[in-house]
Amino acid sequence: MIKAPTFGEFIMDRQAEFPFVTGQLTRLLTDIGVAAKIVNQQVNRAGLTNILGASGATNVQDEQQQKLDVFADDAFMRILSSGKSVCGIGSEERDGYVLCGDQGEGRSGKYIVLIDPLDGSSNIDVNVSIGTIFSIVRRVTPLGEPLQDQDFLQAGTAQVAAGYVLYGSSTMLVYTTGHGVHGFTFDPGVGEFFLSHPDMVFPERGATYSINDAVKAKSNQATQDFIDTCREAVDVGFRGRYIGSLVADFHRNLIHGGIYLYPSTSDKPEGKLRLLYECAPLAWLAEEAGGQALDDHGRILDRVPKSLHERTPYYVGNRHLIDALQTCRKALCGGGQGTGLT
């Protein structure tokens, strides 16, 4: 029997893809795998330990923090800041940036990590899939100098690695460094992630649309027209699927084909999802896998964030489904005609 490479072996073998590597990125990705195992262990024992439920605190975005949100944030912070590769971390669960290194000034280490430590918090207590999303960029201020806002606020095109961990029916780690999207499945008996999904791409056609139905009525007209068109395509196999954990919805759509929408709405014109640590990393994975990701105006990866917790409307998935949404935006949509869906 041929053994599949572990995550650690795979990223080590691929290190040569990067010119002038020093091994810091490889080390950082290894650390993400270690932190993912620690979080995975807590997630799997969640019903047995005193880790379910609200922590009693709210985060900077006024959301109730769950105990697992706090645990996952602590685990990733601890592991990533104790390596030598990371100079700064921006987390959904923290107001400001965390600076790493000896004096906590972010002077050493080449990489910045942006992270949603626990995605899908509302699903924790009900045993439904949750995840972690991460994005890695290079610092722009020279080594040895204190970090500035611009180190953290970089466009998605500046990412050097991005990925997610899905704590689902099995636990998976999926990542890209711009050389394809690769998925690893955790074997709890061995305690390792093994390569199970090399070179992941969206299937050519997708027939799943994912949206919180309750926000549809308040969303922009193009989104409403597009969803109506999807519903009308039920006879040709279209279906609505929405888990409520972005990672899980994205992963399903990547494997089976589909589109995920969290639109701008009349009361939230900026949408709900966060650009830096939710939308941009998954947008890069989507593009690497042959798909597309947009906000209301253009490509997600081209957006330069103005703040750490900036939100954005988000539309991501198969190329032909995003094209169909674009057709609705150009007001050509009507009864499934002309969108290319059917």
Site residues (vs ligand AHG, CB under 6 A): 63, 92, 116, 119-122, 212, 244-246, 272
> Binds 245, which of Mn ion, ligand AHG, none (CB < 5 to 8 A, cut-off by type)?
ligand AHG
151: contact with Mn ion by CB under 5 A? no
For residues 79-98, which are near Mn ion according to CB under 5 A? 92
**Cα dihedral across residues 130, 186, 255, 331: positive or negative:** positive
> Binds 244, which of ligand AHG, Mn ion, none (CB < 5 to 8 A, cut-off by type)?
ligand AHG
CA–CA distance, 46 with 17 (Å, rounded to integer): 39
DSSP per-residue letters across 200-242: ----S---EEE--HHHHTTB-HHHHHHHHHHHHGGGGT-EE--
Residue nearest to Mn ion according to CB distances in the complex? 119
> Binds 212, which of ligand AHG, Mn ion, none (CB < 5 to 8 A, cut-off by type)?
ligand AHG
Find, among 175, 196, 200, 192, the residue nearest to 184 by Cα. Answer: 196
Other beta carbons within 10 angstroms of residue 232's beta carbon come to 16
> Binds 288, which of Mn ion, ligand AHG, none (CB < 5 to 8 A, cut-off by type)?
none
Least Cβ distance, residue 110 to ligand AHG (angstroms): 27
Least Cβ distance, residue 135 to ligand AHG (angstroms): 14
Six token digits for residue 239? 């279906």
Size of the site for Mn ion (CB under 5 A): 4
For residues 111-150, which are near Mn ion according to CB under 5 A? 116, 118-119
- Using the minimum distance from each CB to Mn ion, give the nearer residue, 120 or 206: 120
Q: Looking at residue 303, what DSSP letter applies?
A: P
Least Cβ distance, residue 93 to ligand AHG (angstroms): 9
Q: Which residues pair with 98 in a beta bridge?
A: 89
- Reduced to 3 states (helix: H, G, I; strand: E, B; else coil), residue 197 is strand
Residues that bind Mn ion (CB under 5 A): 92, 116, 118-119
